[in-house]
Amino acid sequence: MKNNFFKTFLNFTKNLKTTGAVYKTNKKVEQEVCSKIDKTSKIVIEFGTGYGNITQEILKRMPEDGKLYTFEVNEEFCTTVEKNIKDPRLFVINDSAENFGKHVKEPVDCFISTIPFTLIPKEVCLDIVNKSYEALKPERYFCKALYSKFHFKKFSNIFDDCSTATVLDNLPPVHIYYCKKTAIPNKMKGKKKKRFGLAKAF
Ligand SMILES: C[S@@+](CC[C@H](N)C(=O)[O-])C[C@H]1O[C@@H](n2cnc3c(N)ncnc32)[C@H](O)[C@@H]1O
């Protein structure tokens, strides 16, 4: 990537209300958040491209015939990523995460998200997570990097099996949420789930 430290810092800070961060996430976060992607992950959706650091890690792990749809609200970030990452598997979409269903019709093998949920209205967050659960293939993951564990219970209310890992050497430390859709949803296993239309979940 040709972006230097100051350009990234300046543009993240200038757009703090949508980036929710002053700098891109570090290598360890890139690897942890992408750890569920392998050569069977043919359709991947990323929310929050930024300058494409995680985008590149996803592409490294995906199969040659895969497709990565990455959603980013900042037009300048999209233009830079399109210029810097030349990969026929990559589709950069300058639209908000909640509209992913307008662009992607296939069942999804993995979602990777770094969008700042704390800065997005809770109804929109709920909509994104519910739609992602619906679009995900069984036994697959929605992986999310967040600065707090505050949202963990809310994700557990929607997904069937959730766990976290913490990357301490990012500044600030990052929590990775691994949210799995199981073949047999928890609801069927007798566990009461609060899914769909419950704005309270966020
Ligand atoms: C914390 S930055 C992460 C950027 C990069 N993925 C990284 O790990 O360094 C969050 C990114 O999400 C984008 N973003 C915020 N809200 C979004 C939304 N609703 N849909 C898509 N992208 C969004 C921001 O513009 C920003 O680029």
**51 SS3 class:** coil
Going from the Cα of 80 to the center of ligand 1, the distance in angstroms, rounded, reads 14
Amino acid occupying residue 139: E
Residues having CB within 6 Å of any atom of ligand 1: 18-21, 24-25, 47-50, 53-54, 71-74, 77, 96-97, 114-116, 120
User: What sign does the CA torsion over 36, 70, 31, 17 have?
Assistant: negative
Closest approach atom of ligand 1 to CA 49:
6
Going from the Cα of 16 to the center of ligand 1, the distance in angstroms, rounded, reads 10
User: Do residues 181 and 136 lie in contact, with contact meaning Cβ atoms separated by under 8 Å?
Assistant: yes
Pull the structure tokens for residue 190: 């007798």
Q: Taking the domains of the chain in order of start, what are their residue ranges?
A: 5-201
User: Do residues 179 and 155 lie in contact, with contact meaning Cβ atoms separated by under 8 Å?
Assistant: yes
Q: What is the pLDDT of residue 19?
A: 86
pLDDT at 21 over 50: yes
How does pLDDT run across 115-152, given as a tens digit for each residue? 998 899 989 999 999 999 999 999 999 999 998 888 88
CATH node for 5-201: 3.40.50.150
The pTM (predicted TM-score) of the whole model is 0.91
Going from the Cα of 184 to the center of ligand 1, the distance in angstroms, rounded, reads 32
Going from the Cα of 147 to the center of ligand 1, the distance in angstroms, rounded, reads 13
Closest approach atom of ligand 1 to CA 96:
20
Cα atoms found within 13 Å of the Cα of residue 40, Cβ hemisphere only = 6
How does pLDDT run across 181-196, given as a tens digit for each residue? 998 776 655 554 555 4
